[in-house]
A and B are shown apart, each in its own frame.
Chain A
Amino acid sequence: MTTDVSKQGATPRPSMRQRIRNSDVWWSFTHSKSAIVAAVILAVLVLAAVFAPLIAPQNPYDAAQLDMWKAELPPMWEQGGEWPYLLGTDTQGRDMLSAILYGTRISIVIGLASVALSLVIGMTAGLCAGFFGGYIDNILMRLGDITLSIPTILIAILVSTVVRQLLPADLREIGAAAVLVLAIALSSWVQYARTVRAQTIVERSKEYVQAARLLKVPSRRILAYHILPNTLTPVLVAATLNFGMAILTEATLSFLGIGMPPGQPSLGTLIRIGNQFLFSGSWWIVLFPVIQLCLLVVVVNILGDWLRDVLNPKLR
């Protein structure tokens, strides 16, 4: 009796696209104005950042393209503004629009990478702590408590300073982004660890896990295939909200001068540079990066809040 299971059903299974269009999440998305607006703005920001080399009038990393004669030009619509320097230039003659587009790119990449790394650290710790319990649980969670007792930004400063000192001098410039990712991840993994641990303890005692244990399925596979997928929903929400936080932490570190170097500026670096010229009248050097950063973080947070409401069964 070799028959294809999928062909015996009376009704064909809906395709992936149909399933998405029929889902609660899609329905809620199309009925939430703020979510749609936020998603559109985020899409524009991300696309502009991704295609920065095609859009930007100038490559801000290429010192040869910088023209000192064009330094501190105001935005186009102000007196003295010049095409193609739409948002003006900084003291190096760097086009602000190009710098912002490339800076957003760096901010988004560092935000994504640090969320991904802290997800890996936090979920592994949470799964192990919740599943194995006992002293493993104690050690991991006390480590988490210690991490939480120190302000996030202090941990990030500590990590990035220590790692920077350990790196050889010629790698410091190149490794700046990696150091930032590590610093942000090490200061924000606890939230995931706690969420996943709590969920793991709930799932561990459920009968489908016991059924798998009866079959002597190794713990590693029970964790990966049974427990992990059932802990993902709250983690997904936390990760979205933390993506905004990670971008802000990165900007803060760069603003404090221990983040991205001025040679490859992120939004935070741009704000730090611009800050010095705020009172000399060159307000555009600091204002536009600030607007971009706020927009990015607010939009991500709106989407995160919306996702949390949708995926929380208690709020329906």
Chain B
Amino acid sequence: MTAMLAQKTHALRVEGLVKTFDVSAPWLNRLVERKPRQHLQAVNDISFEVPLGGCLSLVGESGCGKSTVARLVTGLYSANSGKMQFASGPDGKTLSAQMIFQDPYASLNPRWRVKNIIAEPIRELKLRKSAAEIDERVVELLKTVGLSASDGQKFPHEFSGGQRQRISIARALASEPRFLVCDEPTSALDVSVQAQVLNLMRRLQDEFGLTYLFISHDMSVVRHMSDRIAVMYLGRIVEEGDTEELFARPRHPYTQLLLQTIPNIEKPQRDRITAGGEVPSPFKPPSGCPFHPRCPSATARCSAELPKVRTLASGTRVACHLVQED
């Protein structure tokens, strides 16, 4: 994977992505209560690159816009502005993204047998011709994700959360994608099952040369999975860098805060800097740097001016007034 990184090829390049949601009350209510239209800036001027065959992780607290980015990349939402450019695959076609969802209970149609769930992409994209070929492919996919052929006859409610997530992965693989967007694929699972699913995903990445855009709020999971990490706060990327660099030398105060949240098995009682407060409302984002109300080292400049994204010598990109080049 590192060899691929060195070539600086990317599977997806995103520039200046913006997504606003109109969350206004119905017009009659607005008229009666004299309320203005309300817009929510879910994703605000985001740029990143996903290395081909690698894994970029988006991390951040709930409501920071991670899942919106996932849905923008897959095309479930359309962006208000910005550019998204997928590289072309080995067959010359532009890559398209498939998705693994967060909730293993809502992501499979409860009325369909598993074999039909997995066969749906094959049928829709006409990847196999005859019914026998489709059946054969479904069995192959079930075995790839560690399930047995007879599981295809069952309904989703007969499986555990981890097994359902495997079925989800099999369905995503059925469309023979090169690019997978994983929206918190393990956050609904037990820790022991999380590890199994994550290891399966890494194995599949090596086997099929997949590229992942991985979304999580769990720093330990992210460290296990990714080559690069982008830290999001209130719809913006505040820091982006190679995994080990980011863990060794977090630059942005928010990244430092996030790393504090990882439990440490050697020093369970260590002192932690705890940040007060919550993520500010995205309806009324604070002036200047969005993190300044919670930042332990904020200055007057932070509340006045939005910090620009700067690229450091190590390749890390960071948006903070206080970070000095060293």
Q: What is the interface of chain A, defined by CB distance below 8 A to chain B? A: 1-3, 5-6, 8-10, 13, 206-208, 210-217, 226, 229-230
Contacts and interface: CB of A to CB of B under 8 A. Distances in A.
Interface in B60-79: 71, 74-76
B101 A210 contact: yes
Contacts of B125: 215
A1 B76 contact: no
Nearest to B124: A215
Contacts of A6: 150, 153
Given A8-B150, A207-B102, A2 B109 contact: no
A89 B103 CA distance: 67
16 contacts: A2-B132, A5-B115, A6-B153, A13-B153, A206-B106, A207-B101, A207-B107, A208-B106, A208-B108, A210-B76, A210-B99, A211-B101, A214-B75, A215-B121, A226-B109, A229-B111
Contacts of B263: none
A207 B124 CA distance: 18
Interface in B37-79: 71, 74-76
Contacts of A2: 132, 136
A226 B117 CA distance: 11
Nearest to B132: A2
B139 A1 contact: yes
A1 B140 contact: yes
Contacts of B148: 8
Contacts of B17: none
Given A3-B149, A9-B150, A13-B153, 16 more contacts: A1-B139, A3-B139, A5-B152, A5-B153, A6-B150, A8-B148, A8-B150, A206-B107, A207-B101, A207-B106, A210-B71, A210-B76, A213-B76, A214-B98, A217-B124, A229-B111
A117 to B, nearest CB: 25
Given A5-B150, A10-B150, A230-B110, A211 B171 contact: yes
A5 B138 contact: yes
Interface string B74-114: 11100000000000000000000111011100111111000
A214 B153 contact: no
A9 B139 CA distance: 12
A207 B115 contact: no
A1 B106 contact: no
A182 B202 CA distance: 60
A234 B24 CA distance: 32
B316 interface: no
Interface of B: 71, 74-76, 97-99, 101-103, 106-111, 115, 117, 120-121, 124-125, 132, 135-136, 138-140, 148-150, 152-153, 171, 175
Contacts of A213: 76
10 tightest Cβ-Cβ pairs between the two chains A and B: A9-B150, A207-B107, A207-B101, A229-B111, A208-B109, A215-B124, A206-B106, A8-B149, A207-B106, A8-B150
A176 B147 CA distance: 59
B114 to A, nearest CB: 10
A162 B153 CA distance: 53
Nearest to A230: B111
A215 B132 CA distance: 22
B120 to A, nearest CB: 7
A265 to B, nearest CB: 43
A5 B135 contact: yes
A215 B126 CA distance: 11
Contacts of B136: 1-3
A28 B237 CA distance: 56
A139 to B, nearest CB: 15
Nearest to B103: A207
B107 A211 contact: yes
A311 to B, nearest CB: 14
A10 B150 CA distance: 8
Contacts of A212: 120
Contacts of B101: 207, 210-211
A267 to B, nearest CB: 38
A215 B76 CA distance: 10
Contacts of A211: 99, 101, 107, 171
B110 to A, nearest CB: 7
Contacts of A9: 149-150, 153
A10 B97 CA distance: 36
Nearest to B108: A208
A13 B115 CA distance: 15
Contacts of A3: 136, 139, 149
Contacts of B71: 210
B153 A208 contact: no
A214 B106 CA distance: 15
Given A5-B149, A5-B153, A214-B99, A208 B139 contact: no
A213 B71 CA distance: 11
Contacts of B108: 208
A45 B231 CA distance: 70
Among A6, A13, A206, A207, the most chain B Cβ lie within 10 Å of the Cβ of A207
